[in-house]
Amino acid sequence: MGNIISGAARAFPDTKIPLEEEFFRNVIEVCGSIYRGEPPWAYVKRSGLYGKGERRIAQMGCAKVLCDSLASLTFSSQADIFCKSPAQQEYALRILQENGFWEKAPAFFSRAYALGGGAMKIYIDGGRVSVDYISAEDFIPTGSGRGGICEGIFGSRFLRGGREFALFERHGMKGGHAVIDRRLFEMKGGSLSCEIPVEEVFGGLSERSEYPSMDVPMFAYFRPAGDNNLSEGSLLGLSCFANCTDTLKALDIAFDSFSREFVLGRKRIIVPSSCIRTVVDPDTGRISRYFDADDEVYQALKCDEEQELKITDNTCELRVSEHVEAINALLDILCFQAGLSSGTLSFNSSAGLRTAAEVKSMETRTEITMQTNRCLAAELIENAVRCIIRCGQMCGALPLEEVNVRVAFSDRQTVDRDEIIDRNIRLVEAGLISRVSAVMAALECSEEDAVRELEKIEKERSLLK
């Protein structure tokens, strides 16, 4: 990942690149490997008499679970987009739909939480507006303004005609309009080789593009809430688990011990030596000793004491509850470090899953964290939609007029249906609401449908009497 720093410095020597190479290498790269399931502690030395080399420990993958949970909480309800012009709103929604925003948003936010940020790059390809989803490892923010990050460098690699290339794009604002500079390099041996003209690979694309009518950056940046305490003054965000790596390691150690408990605790019996047989390998001549568990015939064995023939069960008791309690304690610590309420992540199923309605019903740390990140997510979508509309105006798909965008997350929550039904039953029994209102809430139907349903219920009761 640190290659983007050196590559960007070579592509744009006149640009002041932030001194973030150490942060990329020690934080973003490490968090990326943990998120992908390849943490630094993934392998441990084998133990035992014949243990040689290393073995891969069993992992819980809590880093990805945490990022997916935060992404789900951020995007658990519908994001409603409002534009001043109905034509602009319809156009923006269509472009987002064509580029799979609603399907890709959860994965985008999950990686953004894992790596400390992400960007949505807007571009025009063949007269059509397109959206590219960029992770933090491929983007360097180089400047900020009143509206957030407004300048940055994107790095990407691709294959074309059997050759590998690296493209660097510098996005910025000059004179109140967007400007993009591009540099293209051929890759050899995993490193940048020679610079080649952009037009040689991308026909019709120049090394510099200016957009006089584009008064906003052609990208939108999302940075998770919270201060980057590992790089003071940095424009880069921080992974949601960058300060929790010790807890994640402890969780994997506990889960590995829990998994090996079933291996080491397999059924074992102690048998007298006279019951052990030997067999010779005809190829190697090696003698192996074994106990024939399938032997069901009588055997004449020489022994002085009856106790010598006794077969003893020496199976160890599995410590399941102790491991579960330890893992849940570590999960509570992880929730505390990540700004979530205790019990948001749970290893057992008895506690159940917290629904979004339960989170909304109380002022918890999870609710505060969710609302803070939702505000930043709404800002990301607003900036992206504003850029999409401006690009549509450049392409002639929309008339030139003022752009006014607002994004709000609706209060519609993913609730537990059983919880809704139980609550309405209790309200009816207490005489606080009518049966019609309870049926409307439980079945999500109109008043007419609720009345007809109650009439059917009364008719069935009369027939059963």
428 near 435, Cβ under 8 Å? Answer: yes
What residues have CB less than 8 Å from 2, skipping those under 6 apart? 21, 24, 25, 29
Start-to-end CA span in the chain (Å): 75
Structure tokens at 287: 């003698």
Q: What is the pLDDT of residue 48?
A: 65
Q: What is the pLDDT of residue 135?
A: 92
pLDDT tens string, the chain, 465 residues long: the values are 446 888 888 989 888 877 777 888 889 999 999 999 999 999 988 876 566 788 899 999 999 999 999 998 888 767 888 998 899 999 999 999 999 999 999 999 999 999 999 999 999 888 899 999 999 989 998 888 766 788 999 999 888 888 899 999 999 998 889 999 999 999 888 788 899 999 888 887 889 999 988 989 999 999 999 889 988 878 889 999 999 999 999 999 999 988 887 776 666 666 565 566 666 677 776 766 555 555 555 455 555 555 555 555 555 566 778 888 899 999 999 999 999 888 888 876 554 444 444 544 444 788 888 888 999 999 999 999 999 999 999 998 899 898 899 988 865 444 456 667 888 888 888 888 899 888 888 887 888 888 999 998 888 888 876
* Alpha carbon separation from 2 to 26, 39, 429 (Å, rounded): 10, 18, 64
Q: What is the pLDDT of residue 319?
A: 76
Q: What is the pLDDT of residue 323?
A: 85
Domain-wise residue ranges, the chain: 3-30+40-57+80-242+367-409, 269-314, 417-464
Q: What is the pLDDT of residue 147?
A: 67
Q: What is the pLDDT of residue 414?
A: 44
Structure tokens at 353: 């899953």
Quick one: which of 14, 383, 405 has its CA closest to 217?
A: 383
Quick one: which of 145, 163, 143 has its CA closest to 153?
A: 143
Q: What is the pLDDT of residue 290?
A: 56
CA–CA gap between residue 383 and residue 149 (Å, rounded): 11
